[in-house]
Structure 1
Amino acid sequence: MPSYTSSAAYAALSKQDEDDASSTETLTTMSTRRTQGSRLVWCSIILIAINSTLLLIIVVAVLAVYSTQQSPQQSWLLGKLDTSSLLKQTSGYSPVFDRYAFSLQPVFQDNPLFSDKVLRQRPNNATDEAWSELSKLSSFTISADEVRKLGQDPIRVTHMPGDPSSFPVMLSVTHQLHCLNHIRMGLEGAHYLHGKERSRHDWEHIYHCLDFLTQITTCHADVDLILWHWYENMEQPQPNFSGDMKCRDFDGLKSWVDGIGFPTEDIWYFKREGRVYDMPVDPAYLKYLREHPEDASSH
């Protein structure tokens, strides 16, 4: 008589072995897939890194070839554009950086205590003409959007005659040079005033210029270095104010602005057109003009 119990038990054990084998196969398959997936990820990362490196090498090579094939004019312009972008970081907003390609020039500043340079001479025709030419820069125009970038409302700013979308401006260096010249002339009052007493307005003008130049100087805070030396027949070391500097190309800038602009003096003859916004006058200045009406028409 057959043993059904033993057969059933054997069948159950066989089924369990098959299940265990199937589970083992499943785990092995999953493990294999994980390993393959991990390898695929790493392969992708490696391929991306290789492609990125190759792309970088190609870009560098193209730029190198391009730079060697540039004309002198192209290289010159690119260098100036780079300089302008760097100068932007140390200046307030000015559309000049987008219109004029600055360059920096190595300059030896020769500044002894005694000198016969024309700009340092006592009043004479040559000195006066040199200062006048140095400080006479043209004005030019900017747009309403550029006025807004300066933090101003175009409605409150003087516009060009017949063109409310164009606004006259002058470079700050124009005013700086004007102030230096005015202080120079103030030191020679006996010559330039022709024996007349200096007016209150002229004194205020001089001190305004000193204050303006002080603010400009401290704003830029020049960090060029001044060395000290021992000199013959002197007991103390003395500063040497001569040395190498790196300067913006002032002559190039002046030539550019004179080429696109108009005489700044023309602005004094502008007339009001329609409704304009009048800025409030400083109370102290207004008081002075009321006490000295002869100056009111010229200021």
Structure 2
Amino acid sequence: MYNLGVRTAQRFLLLPPALEERHNDIVNESEDYERQWTGWRPNRVAFMILGSTVLSVMLWGWGYWQRRAFSDSSCTLRTSRNSPILADIDVGLSTIAFNGSFFSETIFRQAASPEVDAAWESLGVNYRAAIVPESQASVGGLTPRQVRVSKKYGGGYPANVEGMHHLHCLNLLRQALFFNYDYYKALGGGAFKNEDYVLQAHITHCLDTLRQQLMCVVDVGVLGQIWWDTTYPKAFPDFNTKHNCRDFDKVRKWAEEHQGPEHPPEDYLRPPRRDDVLEGIP
């Protein structure tokens, strides 16, 4: 029979030795578990903080990569060769509405005159070559075999900004139009001071340069059509479209500010090595 014992007016059950030993083991295990759990709590909190920090860093890095991957500068590098210009300016992108009017002429379309020439000059069509520092030459694909400035005058490479050259070529094509040709031939300036065969070569060089440029950056936009003539409506292409454009003025200003001297001294250019001189104009 079980014995009953009383201690300080409290009744309790006396267990057999085997059950008493098992009871003590359970109590000890419970205490050990409680101590382990209590010790784990700070570690669990630290782990959660660490995990949150790592996740935050990963999300920030992903967001930064997204911004870089789709930034205007990144898009420029995907659609153009690298250039020392991009180290100095952000050409950006903005939406510009083209003036594609068929009969309403801008100043750039008008017949030859000093005012029209001034408008084209303002675009930088006759800027001199910029001077690219030797430290930035490789960025633009310039090599030691090309013309260089004498170290006496700071060194570097004379190099024309291609966009300015394209506008120069477009301006020459404008001057060579049948209704402008006689005007500029009589002035005898620029390309028109050369013999006819050289002038023709210059004009066709410009024509083919622009052909290649337009094919290289072929515009995938589409031209819708509009109705005109309220009496007998007819369809006509809508040339007044919108385009994502780089900041031309920033590029033009860079080209203007980095021009070489207008009247360079005779020893301005470094003498070429014999192996770097071609037999004729390519």
TM over 0.5: yes
User: Which residue, 226, 231, 241 being the options, matches 1:229?
Assistant: 226
User: Which residue, 132, 143, 160 being the options, matches 2:121?
Assistant: 132
| CA distance in structure 2 between the aligned counterparts of 1:195 and 1:272, rounded to whole angstroms | 31
Alignment length, in residue pairs? 223
Indicate the RMSD between aligned Cα atoms, in angstroms.
Answer: 3.8
| CA distance in structure 1 between the aligned counterparts of 2:226 and 2:160, rounded to whole angstroms | 41
Measured at CA, do residues 101 and 111 of structure 1 come closer, stay the same or move farther in structure 2, by a change above 3 Å? same
Matched, 1:104 2:93: yes
User: Which residue, 117, 126, 129 being the options, matches 2:106?
Assistant: 117
Measured at CA, do residues 102 and 49 of structure 1 come closer, stay the same or move farther in structure 2, by a change above 3 Å? farther
User: Which residue, 250, 253, 261 being the options, matches 1:252?
Assistant: 250
TM-score by length of 2: 0.66
**Residue in 2 that maps onto 1:167:** 157
**Residue in 2 that maps onto 1:85:** 74
Structure 1 contact 226–239 (Cα < 8 Å) conserved: yes
Higher helix share: 1
| CA distance in structure 1 between the aligned counterparts of 2:60 and 2:104, rounded to whole angstroms | 53
Structure 1 contact 85–97 (Cα < 8 Å) conserved: no
Question: How do residues 207-218 of structure 1 correspond to structure 2 at under 5 angstroms?
Answer: 207-218=204-215
Structure 1 contact 139–264 (Cα < 8 Å) conserved: no
Residues 211-248 of structure 1 show CA distances to partners (whole Å, capped at 9, x for unaligned) of: 00000000011112211223226675221111211211
Residue identity (%): 23
| CA distance in structure 1 between the aligned counterparts of 2:265 and 2:197, rounded to whole angstroms | 22
| Gap regions ≥5 residues in structure 1 | 1-43, 65-77, 284-299
Measured at CA, do residues 168 and 152 of structure 1 come closer, stay the same or move farther in structure 2, by a change above 3 Å? closer
Higher RCO (CA 8 Å, separation ≥ 6 residues): 2
Higher alpha-carbon deviation: 187-196 or 207-216: 187-196
Structure 1 contact 140–257 (Cα < 8 Å) conserved: yes
| Gap regions ≥5 residues in structure 2 | 1-43
- Secondary structure of the 2:79 match is coil
Deviation at 1:147, TM superposition (A): 3.2
Higher alpha-carbon deviation: 92-101 or 49-58: 49-58
**Residue in 1 that maps onto 2:29:** none
TM-score by length of 1: 0.62
Measured at CA, do residues 185 and 165 of structure 1 come closer, stay the same or move farther in structure 2, by a change above 3 Å? same
Measured at CA, do residues 195 and 105 of structure 1 come closer, stay the same or move farther in structure 2, by a change above 3 Å? closer
**Residue in 1 that maps onto 2:15:** none
Residues 132-183 of structure 1 show CA distances to partners (whole Å, capped at 9, x for unaligned) of: 12124454333445434555531x2111232574112121011101001101
